[in-house]
Each structure stands twice: as C-alpha cells, then as structure tokens.
Structure 1
Amino acid sequence: MTLPASNALYTPSWHAELELGYARFGNGTRPTLRRHKGPLRVQKHLYAEGPEVCQHIIVHPPGGIAGGDRLNISARVEAGAWAQLTSPGAAKWYRAAGPAFQQLDLKVAAGATLEWLPQETIVFSAARAELTTHIDLQGDARLFYWDIVALGRPASGEHFEQGHFQSHLDIRRDGQLIWHERQRINGSDGLLDSPIGLDGRPVFSTLLVTGEIDAALLEQCRSLPNRVRGDLSQLPGLLAARCLADEALHARDWLIALWQLLRPALLGREAMPPRIWNT
C-alpha cells in the first residue's frame, strides 16, 4: 500500500554515515580512519594482492534503502596509497512515498589510487532514489570507477513504472571539472523504450578511468565478447565506457572484462577479482 505524501515525514528511516581514510606506510597501504554512524560498516581490510592494495567491502546491514533513508559515504586516499572499495551484493532501493538519498565524497591525493567497484544498484518500481557523487583528484591521482543501475525487476515481471532515479556525478582534478553528469529517469518515461534512451533495456552502466590508451588497446576493448550494447570513448586524460544490458550480470561481466584489460595498462597491476564477487 502506498503511503500518502502527507505521511512521508513520519515514515521510519535510517541515517547512516561512513568515513574512511587510507595512507601509505612503507610498501603498503593501511586504513587510518574508519568512523561510522548508523547502519554502514566495512568488513576487515583485506590484502589479496599483497600489502600495496588495501581492499574494503562496504556493508549496509539493513540490506535495502527506503524512503527517508540517507547514506553518506566519504573516503580519503593519501599520497602513495591504493584503496579498492567494493560491496558484497546489490544495493536495493525500495518503493517509497518519499525520496531516499546517497551522498558519496571521494578524495584522492597526488600519487594515490582509488578503485570504486561496487556491485549493481537495483531501483524498484516506485522507488525515489537520489544519488550524488563528488570525486576530487589531486595532481596525478588515479581513479577507476564504475556503476551499474538496474531499473525495476524484469525477472519478476516488474517494470519501472513509477518513482524516479536521479544521479549527479562530478569529477574534478585540481579543482577543474573533468566530468559532469546529471541523470533523471522517471517511471514510465518515454526514454525507457526510446532508441535515443535505454531502448527497452532496463540496465545501464558507466566506467570511468583516468589515463589514456593507444588505438590497439581501445580496439581490443571494443572487440571483447559480450552480451551488452556498449562502447568506449577516449577523452583527454579520461577513458569512458557505457553499456545497456538486459541483465545486471551481463553489464557486470562486461565491466570486469574491461577492468581486466585496462587495469594493467593504466594502473600497472594485473586484475585480481575480489572473492566477494563470486559469492
């Protein structure tokens, strides 16, 4: 049953915050800050690749985000450090009478590397999801970022007929804007089926990685076997990839395949998928 708008302020909600910090010590990266408020946590830090790369899995114990919820996540990676952040499963945004919010603030110092590699975001029909992401890079800081959004639950016969998904993404280097994006998709919007929109596919994803690759590697990326409609564009200092898919798993497989090709070329390390992706 849908609550009337007048009752939205009285709907129980979670307000959660998570602050993370990483620094370089000797030949390794260690967490220097882990502060939380409400239902946001990170699991024990892992070193699957050795001491240089610190991996954290961000956990939201309630398992879903409902109307009125606010999640604020911030991370700072200091000079020379390398942090890899992912999630244990899909983030679910439930149907609600009012909006729910996520604020993400990431700061990467010169000489540092951040990989932001969450699993998919599932936006149920009648959810009101509003996401804002700010990423600040300093000097030669390196970033590997992706997101996967699935609208509705087609496997359960649910299409995105009500509510909205809204996202803001800004990336700056030394204060200069290098990526600025605004999205808003309303339930039953014509863009969901339009050839100039999602073309009937409920899943879309974006990959952004700092650096530039040569024409041969770009073509190799474009030639990867896949089950998506996707492509890549080399911009000055930033490589962008996008895809549309019928299932979140198809989009994730494509992004991981790209990551496995691009990580050695742009970040200088072979790609080792986190074990949590296989559970």
Structure 2
Amino acid sequence: MHSTILTDLAAKQNSAAVVRRIYPAQHPSSPAPGLPQARLEARLSLTFAKDGGTTRLVGRDHFGPLLVQKPFYPDGQDLCQAVIIHPPGGVVGGDKLDIAVKVGAVAKAQITTPGAAKWYKANGHVSRQNIKLEVGAGGMLEWVPQETIFFDDVNVALDHQVVLEKEASYIGCEILCFGRTASGESFTKGQIAQRIGIRREGKLIWFEQLRLAGGSTAMKSPLVLAGNTVCATLIAVGKDVSPAILDTVREEAGAIANGAGHLGISRLKPVVVARYQGNSSETARRIMLHIWGLLRPEMLGREAMVPRMWNT
C-alpha cells in the first residue's frame, strides 16, 4: 500500500504564508514592527501498519506546513522511524498544529524531530498544539521529539493524548525550556497550559496538567519548577520493571546530574515516570537519553538506540 499526500488550494495558500513570515536568524521574541503575522493552521496524520516483518508508513496526509521525511529503519525493518518537520521553524501567536498518529496491531514506530521546537511571543493570540497517538494491540510507539523552547510572553495550549490497546507499549519524552537563558531572556510573562492523558484498554492510567504563568510564584515553588528553567519528563508504559532496574536508573541518572537540579523516578503500575528539573537543557537531554536507554530493553524489549537526529 502506497503512502499518500493530500493537498488542496487552501493548503497551498496556507503554506505560502510561511514564505511571507519573517524568522530572522536570531529568532527574536517578537515580530518585526509593522509587519502583519499570518496565523497558520497545520495538520499531519500518520498511519503505520505491519507488513510481514516490516512496519510501513502506509498513510501520510498533511495540510499546511507540517510534514514528514521519508521513513528510516535505523533499528531494523520492524521499527519505522519518522521525522516530523515544521518548516517555519517556530510557532507564533494564533498558530495551530494538529498531529494524529495511528500505529497498527504489532507494528512499531518511533517519531522524532530534527531540532528544537520554538514557541514565540503570543502577540495577543493563543498558540495551540493537539497531539493524539493511538497504538493497536501489541504495537509500540516511541514519541521522542527534541526540546521545546518557550520564549518570553508566550500564550500556549498543549494537549497530548495517548490511547493504547491491549499489550501496547509507549515511551514519550519531552524537554521543556522556559525562556532563552543562553540569550539572557527569562520567562517573566505569558502562560502555558498543558494536559497529558494516557489510556490503556479504555482505562485512564495517567493524567497530568500544568498551568504556568511566567514570573508567577509557581516558577519558584518546590511543587512546580523550584526556580529551575528546564523540566524534562519521560513516561513509559510497557512490560513490568523490577525494583532493581529502577534503582539502577536512579543511581546512573543521578550520577549524570551530579547534584545539579532535581531528579525523581517512580513507578505507578503500569507506568514509569522520570522527571528532571534543572537549568541546562544539555544535562536534561543526557539524563533522559540515559534513562530511555536503560528502560527501553526492559519495557519494550529493544536495545538502547539514540535517534540519529539527536546527534546532528
């Protein structure tokens, strides 16, 4: 079955707005004065299915500037890797991104991105991203985009929903950076709303939500960010993990953190959650990759493998 790409006149007009939008090399936190900013909508739908011993990308539909590269097989033919690309390079106020992924029964897929996602100043409008991931019985999905950077004065609403059938497994990882600390910019105003839900065989097994205002007391609260600027989370659902493995994960991840920031790893059957808070996205990346590498063989039955996009 061949992959298809659906476009129409509206999609072409929508994509054309990308050309008119200005993204200077330094990625300013506000648009050039006097220039109207076209708000964009983009949608991407991917379907993976098992074909003999190979997982194939059998459905690929898009609208607007949200695309996927041709499939890769860096970890054997049974696991298909897809790289999602957002050509504008960042999301401004009023933009809306919708991503839907379906992984069929016993199929295996991994989805990543070529670089950091950037959410720019709101300019009076809310930016939205809705993600829905569905995995069929015995299937597997790894959702491992690179870090997300929230510029000062953003207004963002993020919704991330995962639906797993019987014996399906999932690992999702995110690294959130609040402000551009390397450029001396803090997250002093704006707001971020995030909701994450995971269901397995119709039962809600994980739910969390965040509503964070820039410059608020929550930024310093020990129950939220504790004064840190980076928060990384890995959520895994799969085979049961022994306490000994979790102890190893805590010990080795703690050694990487080396006392910088806060690290926690817990298990709420059948979910394992690892969270790190600190002030370095590079440290967060190293910790998350190491935890992923330790949990992947235990929970997914696959050896550790870093997506090559994370090394470019």
After superposition, residues 18-57 of structure 1 pair within 5 angstroms as: 18-57=44-83
Give structure 1 stretches of 5+ with no counterpart: 4-9
Aligned position for 1:111: 138
Compute the TM-score of the two structures, normalised by the length of structure 1: 0.95
| 8 Å CA contact retained: 1:11, 1:68 | no
State the AA in 1 paired with 2:251.
S
Give 1 or 2: higher strand fraction. Answer: 1
Q: Does 1:16 align with 2:45?
A: no
Aligned position for 2:247: 219
| 8 Å CA contact retained: 2:54, 2:77 | yes
**How many positions carry a matched residue from both structures?**
273
SS in 1 for 2:161: strand
Aligned position for 2:23: none
Q: Rate the CA distance shift 1:153–1:2 in 2: closer, same or farther, 3 A.
A: closer
| 8 Å CA contact retained: 2:41, 2:97 | yes
State the identity as a percent.
Answer: 41
After superposition, residues 105-144 of structure 1 pair within 5 angstroms as: 105-144=132-171
Q: Does 1:79 align with 2:112?
A: no
Alignment equivalent of 2:203, drawn from 172, 176, 179: 176
Q: Does 1:261 align with 2:294?
A: yes
Distance of 1:187 and 1:117 partners within structure 2:
26
Aligned position for 2:282: 249
Distance of 2:150 and 2:256 partners within structure 1:
24
Aligned position for 2:13: none
Q: Does 1:186 align with 2:219?
A: no
Encode CA deviations 1:72-106: one digit per residue, 9 max, x unaligned. Answer: 00000000100000000110000122110000000
Distance of 1:85 and 1:48 partners within structure 2:
12
| 8 Å CA contact retained: 2:196, 2:207 | yes
Distance of 2:69 and 2:206 partners within structure 1:
31
SS in 2 for 1:226: helix
Distance of 1:104 and 1:218 partners within structure 2:
29
Q: Does 1:102 align with 2:118?
A: no
Alignment equivalent of 1:235, drawn from 258, 268, 271: 268
| 8 Å CA contact retained: 2:30, 2:120 | no
Q: Rate the CA distance shift 1:67–1:216 in 2: closer, same or farther, 3 A.
A: same
Query: Which 4+ residue blocks in structure 1 deviate beyond 6 angstroms?
Result: none
State the AA in 1 paired with 2:309.
I
Q: 1:2 Cα deviation (Å)?
A: 7.3
Encode CA deviations 1:33-67: one digit per residue, 9 max, x unaligned. Answer: 00000000011100011101100010000000000
Compute the TM-score of the two structures, normalised by the length of structure 2: 0.85
Pairwise CA RMSD of aligned residues?
1.4
Q: 1:243 Cα deviation (Å)?
A: 1.0
